[in-house]
């Protein structure tokens, strides 16, 4: 009987604890997260740990002045999201991604990369 | 807040498993047993009606809770308010452009087909083999496709095939065990009141027990595959919410197996002690009580499953922790 009571209490405690959501997160990116590259890339590619839902996944890339520099809509295939970059000069770029994994959970995150040369 | 979604998930799992269990029980257990009951007895008619009601109410509640689940997910996916999700076309986008939506569309079609087949199957008292086969396949599909609404999807390669397949089989087996316990309890209760049914009680208990052996085996194997992909390591099982919930689920499952073993080994054999009416009655009563206890454990497991689907799987959580440490 005590075992049962303990189990029920454990269960209720666990249910009440609430649940965070984090299912598809960034596995790697190109340019690499936090890296410095010599020339501006023509696109940014993000690879996630799970396949993505294209209808509800997006990415924004901004330069040092906060101006959006991504070009068009991202192309999503499986667990990879690619987006083109407008002609970009040296500086630090912020990438903000917001994705929905196919198991219906949303995640988002930021990283930056730096372009050192022209 | 996730609470309404957890409620909708729990109700949908329970209703689906109850409906499918009632269909499986009617076809695999009750059908053969009724043939051993005196044709003039009234109880089989009453029980058939009860099983049909169980299936219909289960399907209706599953449809309603499934719709609520879908709307809540669509609202979350599209970041809109409850009112806007209806007006801004988000429901259509989710239904037609996401894996979850397509799974729901497929399940809606399966449910409609199942309802049509059940109408025929129940009207003909389960005597149309073709309708029975269709009912079993569609019911299995209806519960199994729940796999496409959870953590089993999302991977690529071999895992992308094996994990959903294992989860599909896990859900069908769960309906074949937990879902069939409710109609079993109804049968045993009716058998305690009616001598005509009591004569077939051994057939019912034995058949149910044999089916349970298979379903418990399938649950163990497919559950292990799921756990391997989602929980992974000892750290992940003991140190995360997901892992701890999974441990409670396994503990409840083992308690259910223990109660089922007592029913199989101790009480079912007592049903065939001819002439000993008192012993038969006691066995029937114990079987029914234990089956009801199993239903209780099964309901707790379903609540845990509803929460697990909303909790980051251990391996995902472990990877996040490692990433955070890495970035510090």
ipTM of the complex: 0.70
pLDDT tops 90 at residue B214: yes
Helix (H), strand (E) at residue A37 = strand A36-37
pLDDT tops 50 at residue A22: no
Rounded to 5 degrees, what are φ and ψ at B265? -85, -35
For residue range B312-323, list pLDDT tens digits in order.
776 655 555 555
Specify the pLDDT at position A17. Answer: 31
Return the closest-CA partner of residue A98 out of B77, B314, B2, B96: B77
CA-to-CA separations, B101 to B166, B270, B302, B313, in angstroms, rounded: 21, 50, 22, 22
**Higher confidence at residue B273 or residue B72?**
B72
Q: Is B310 on the interface with A (CB under 8 A)?
A: yes
Cross-chain residue pair A21–B154, CB shorter than 8 Å = no
Q: In the structure encoding, which two tokens stand for residue B216, read together?
A: 């418990």
Q: Span B204-222, mean pLDDT?
A: 92
CA angle B72, A79, A85 (to 5 degrees): 105
Return the closest-CA partner of residue A17 out of B230, B235, B245: B245
For residue range A40-97, list pLDDT tens digits in order.
899 999 999 888 999 999 999 999 899 999 998 999 998 999 999 988 789 999 999 9
For residue range B144-199, list pLDDT tens digits in order.
999 998 778 877 778 888 989 999 999 999 999 999 999 999 999 988 888 778 77
**Higher confidence at residue B119 or residue B159?**
B119
pTM (2 d.p.): 0.83
Q: Residue B316 is nearest to which of A15, A17, A22, comparing CB atoms?
A: A22
Q: Rounded distance, CA B135 to CA B26, Å? A: 11
Residues of A in contact with B248 (CB under 8 A): 7, 10-11, 14
């Amino acid at each position: 009987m005590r075992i049962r009571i303990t189990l029920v209490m454990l269960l209720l405690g666990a249910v009440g604890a609430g649940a965070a959501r984090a299912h598809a997160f960034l596995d790697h990116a190109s340019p690499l997260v936090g890296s410095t590259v010599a020339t501006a890339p023509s696109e940014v590619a993000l690879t996630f740990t799970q396949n993505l839902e294209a209808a509800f996944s997006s990415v924004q890339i901004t330069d040092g002045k906060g101006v959006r520099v991504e070009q068009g809509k991202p192309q999503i295939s499986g667990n990879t999201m690619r987006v083109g970059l407008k002609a970009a000069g040296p500086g630090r770029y912020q990438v903000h991604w917001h994705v929905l994994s196919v198991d219906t959970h949303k995640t988002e995150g930021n990283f930056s990369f730096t372009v050192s040369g022209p | 807040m996730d609470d309404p979604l957890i409620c909708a998930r729990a109700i949908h799992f329970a209703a689906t498993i109850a409906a499918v269990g009632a269909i499986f029980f009617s076809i695999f257990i009750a059908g053969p047993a009724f043939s051993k009951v005196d044709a003039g007895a009234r109880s089989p008619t009453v029980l058939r009606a009860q099983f049909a009601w169980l299936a219909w109410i289960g399907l209706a509640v599953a449809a309603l809770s499934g719709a609520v689940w879908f709307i809540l997910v669509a609202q979350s996916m599209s970041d809109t308010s409850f009112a806007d999700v209806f007006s801004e076309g988000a429901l259509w986008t989710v239904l037609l452009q996401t894996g979850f939506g397509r799974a729901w569309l497929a399940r809606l079609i399966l449910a409609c087909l199942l309802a049509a087949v059940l109408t025929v199957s129940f009207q003909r008292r389960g005597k149309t083999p073709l309708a029975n086969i269709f009912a079993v396949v569609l019911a299995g599909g209806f519960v199994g496709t729940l796999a496409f609404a959870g953590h089993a999807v999302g991977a690529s390669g071999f895992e992308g095939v094996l994990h959903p397949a294992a989860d599909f089989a896990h859900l069908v087996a769960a309906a074949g065990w937990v879902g069939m316990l409710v109609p079993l309890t109804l049968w045993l209760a009716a058998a305690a009141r009616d001598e005509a049914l009591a004569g077939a009680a051994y057939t019912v208990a034995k058949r149910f027990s044999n089916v349970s052996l298979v379903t418990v085996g399938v649950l163990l194997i497919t559950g292990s595959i799921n756990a391997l992909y989602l929980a992974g390591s000892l750290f992940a099982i003991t140190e995360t919410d997901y892992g701890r919930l999974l441990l409670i689920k396994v503990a409840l499952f083992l308690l259910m197996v223990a109660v089922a073993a007592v029913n199989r080994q101790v009480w079912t054999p007592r049903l065939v002690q001819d002439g000993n009416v008192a012993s038969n009655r006691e066995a029937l009563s114990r079987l029914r009580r234990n089956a009801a206890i199993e239903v209780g454990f099964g309901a707790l497991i379903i609540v845990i499953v509803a929460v697990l689907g909303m909790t980051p799987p251990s391996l995902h959580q472990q990877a996040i922790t490692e990433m955070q440490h890495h970035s510090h």
